[in-house]
């Protein structure tokens, strides 16, 4: 039986329109799926899988923020390429873990900018035989970096909750760091003397107990200056019982509290 030509034309037009609609629906579905994936990736509360976002972000951090500037110590670069910085950052800020700026960790404190962590660590000239004291544990990230570069790492944090949280995070991730909840202005005399001391909060003077606990020939790095505004990152070398200072760069850190704050008033 033969179809009339006019009817055949209508049938062919209908088939063409139907096919176009199917293609449109499939394209919209594909775009919708892509949009959903992108939204999930950019969602500030959604964790990025370690094998996707964080690994790439950490590599970019090392190449662009550290090697791209003046961080040349291969051991420091390798340590920061290994350590999962995002594990030390509150979940609401994890998507920014490897960006070039500090991040809040609660109690008015911050985890320092990656470049500053690397610069301070490099300035200490560490090797795997030394004993290091950190004043201001904060998130525990700086302590984790130190632990991969030296023999013994001790860290003091004045805020109880931060000390507890950092200790738990470091232990969970397998970093050998002893954390103490105390006023870091007085150091940690029990384990002195130290080959190096790093202070991750600002003071308007070098705490005398820290100089006393530093070995002869040891190095101390500290942000010195106004605790309300900017400071100068300062390298202190102990020699002949006294100290020689060297200015590194301008920085801005949260103030050292406790005894240091008492002496500022």
Q: Kindly write down the DSSP assignment for every residue of 88-131, as one continuous string.
A: GS-GGGGGGTTSSS-EEEETTEEEPPHHHHHHHHHHT---TT-E
Question: What is the pLDDT, as a whole number, of residue 19?
Answer: 47
- DSSP H or E run through 19: helix 5-42
Question: What is the pLDDT, as a whole number, of residue 241?
Answer: 77
Question: What is the pLDDT, as a whole number, of residue 4?
Answer: 54
Respond yes or no: is residue 112 known to be catalytic.
yes
Which distant-in-sequence residues (6+ apart) come within 8 Å of 26 by Cβ? none
Question: What is the pLDDT, as a whole number, of residue 263?
Answer: 80
Domain boundaries, the chain: 100-264
Nearest one of 113, 172, 180, 123 to 146, comparing CA atoms: 123
Question: What are the residue ranges in the chain where pLDDT is below 70?
Answer: 1-52, 264-265
Ranges assigned E (strand) in the chain: 103-106, 109-111, 131-135, 152-157, 178-181, 194-199, 214-225, 231-239, 242-251
Catalytic option among 112, 123, 147, 155? 112
Name the CATH topology of 100-264.
Rossmann fold (3.40.50)
């Amino acid at each position: 039986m033969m179809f009339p030509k006019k009817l055949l034309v209508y049938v062919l037009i209908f088939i063409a329109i139907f096919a176009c609609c199917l293609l449109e629906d499939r394209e919209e579905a594909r775009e919708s799926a892509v949009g959903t994936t992108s939204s999930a990736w950019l969602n500030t509360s959604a964790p990025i899988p370690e094998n996707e976002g964080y690994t790439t972000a950490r590599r970019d951090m090392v190449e662009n923020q550290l090697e791209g500037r003046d961080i040349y110590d291969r051991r420091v670069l390798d340590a920061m390429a290994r350590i999962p910085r995002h594990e030390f950052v509150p979940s609401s800020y994890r998507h920014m873990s490897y960006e070039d700026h500090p991040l809040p960790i609660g109690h008015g404190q911050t985890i320092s900018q990656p470049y500053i962590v690397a610069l301070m660590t490099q300035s200490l000239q560490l090797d795997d035989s030394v004993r290091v004291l950190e004043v201001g544990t904060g998130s525990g990230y700086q302590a984790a970096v130190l632990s991969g570069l030296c023999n013994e790492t001790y860290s003091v944090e004045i805020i109880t909750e931060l000390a507890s949280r950092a200790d738990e995070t470091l232990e969970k991730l397998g970093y050998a760091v002893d954390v103490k909840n105390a006023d870091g202005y007085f150091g940690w005399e029990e384990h002195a003397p130290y080959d190096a001391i790093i202070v991750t909060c600002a003071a308007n003077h070098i705490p005398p107990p820290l100089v006393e606990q530093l070995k002869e020939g040891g190095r101390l790095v500290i942000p010195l200056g106004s605790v309300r505004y900017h400071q100068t990152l300062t390298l202190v070398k102990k020699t002949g019982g006294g100290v020689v200072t060297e200015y590194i760069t301008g920085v801005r850190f949260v103030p050292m509290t406790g005894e240091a704050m008492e002496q500022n008033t």
